[in-house]
């Protein structure tokens, strides 16, 4: 049945996926209105997260952030649908919604270590990371990202339909989809990383690290994050420390609607010489700084603190 569901979903979204990006951003206002004002999608979770994260802000300020967040969430949805129609990478490049400020930071870390762990969060639009090698960058800057070395680590959805759809959608610009192995589920990440490290293959592991720890997963206490006692998953940084990977933080800010900017900050060149807890505390400190700068540019609908 999930195969039938997948076919129906693809057929339903085929036409919208090929409409121009400006149309999607216009339609996002309708989706925003439905989520925010009609069905009140996770409104209680959003307001609870915001009020606890920004205890000094007044209710009016919090509702303004929430309202702007729902439009941002709608943009993520429609941009993801549009991205599914970019089977020709030229379409993505022409409308490129992402730019890298300093890719040389990653190139330098890659030259100095067996692999690079890039820690990121639910800021910006993470649906585009499968095309990071096509992102705009300063003229003359190196592009360390290729289809052969980029690895996006993800958490599999419970729905088989959505799992297959999102996987194919997120690698839509990849030229050799049949042999592409850079989309790795969290449960298989450890084995994947060890195999490639043993083979001497340098990989750039893009890890979303702001989720609440999964059940039965290794967890680490990192103190206060956005004024709340926080635990984080420890598996990724544990591998980085054990194998001497370098670690970097990726900030994704929103320049304007439909335009995101990636900036990389090195955390360490050799994680085996660092304390894993301190690496994660540094990551959360950088993330908090960026969330405070653009509080609506974050996924407030998930229950980060449990």
CA 22 to the chain's CA centroid: 23
Per residue of the chain (306 residues), what is the pLDDT tens digit? Answer: 778 988 999 999 999 999 999 999 999 999 999 999 999 999 999 999 999 999 999 999 999 999 999 999 999 999 999 999 999 999 999 999 999 999 999 999 999 999 999 999 999 999 999 999 999 999 989 899 999 999 999 888 888 999 999 999 999 999 888 888 899 998 899 999 999 999 999 999 999 888 777 666 678 899 999 999 999 988 889 999 999 999 999 999 999 999 999 999 999 999 999 999 999 999 999 999 999 999 999 999 998 887
pTM confidence score: 0.93
pLDDT value of position 210: 85
pLDDT value of position 179: 85
pLDDT value of position 3: 85
Structural domain boundaries in the chain: 2-293
Spatial CB neighbours of 149, under 8 Å, sequence gap ≥ 6: 182, 201, 202, 203, 204
Nearest Cα to Cα of residue 206 among 240, 232, 179, 173: 240
Q: Count of CB atoms within 10 A of residue 255's CB?
A: 12
pLDDT value of position 192: 94
pLDDT value of position 216: 66
């Amino acid at each position: 049945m999930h195969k039938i569901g997948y076919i129906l979903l693809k057929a339903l979204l085929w036409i919208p996926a090929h409409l121009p990006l400006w149309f999607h951003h216009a339609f996002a206002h309708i989706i925003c209105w439905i989520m925010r004002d009609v069905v009140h999608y996770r409104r209680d979770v959003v307001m609870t997260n915001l009020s606890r994260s920004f205890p000094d802000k007044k209710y009016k300020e919090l509702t303004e952030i929430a309202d702007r967040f729902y439009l941002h969430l709608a943009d993520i949805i429609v941009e993801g649908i549009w991205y599914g129609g970019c089977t020709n990478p030229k379409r993505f490049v022409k409308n490129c919604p992402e730019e890298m400020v300093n890719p040389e930071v990653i190139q330098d870390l890659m030259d100095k270590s067996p692999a690079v762990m890039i820690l990121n969060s639910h800021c910006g639009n993470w649906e585009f990371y499968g095309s990071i090698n096509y992102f705009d960058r300063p003229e003359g800057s190196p592009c360390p990202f290729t289809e052969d070395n980029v690895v996006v680590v993800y958490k599999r959805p419970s729905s088989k339909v959505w799992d297959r759809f999102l996987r194919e959608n997120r690698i839509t610009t990849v030229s050799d989809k049949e042999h592409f192995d850079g989309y790795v589920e969290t449960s298989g990440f450890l084995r994947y990383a060890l195999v490639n490290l043993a083979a001497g293959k340098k990989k750039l592991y893009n890890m979303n690290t702001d989720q609440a720890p999964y059940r039965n997963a290794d967890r680490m206490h990192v103190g206060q994050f956005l004024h709340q006692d926080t635990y984080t998953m420890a598996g990724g940084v544990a591998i980085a420390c054990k194998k001497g990977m370098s670690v970097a933080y990726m900030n994704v800010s929103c320049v304007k609607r439909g335009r995101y900017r990636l900036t990389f900050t090195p955390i360490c060149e050799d994680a085996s010489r660092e304390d894993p807890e301190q690496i994660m505390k540094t990551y959360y400190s950088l993330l908090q700084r960026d969330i405070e700068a653009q509080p609506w540019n974050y996924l407030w609908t998930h229950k980060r603190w449990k």
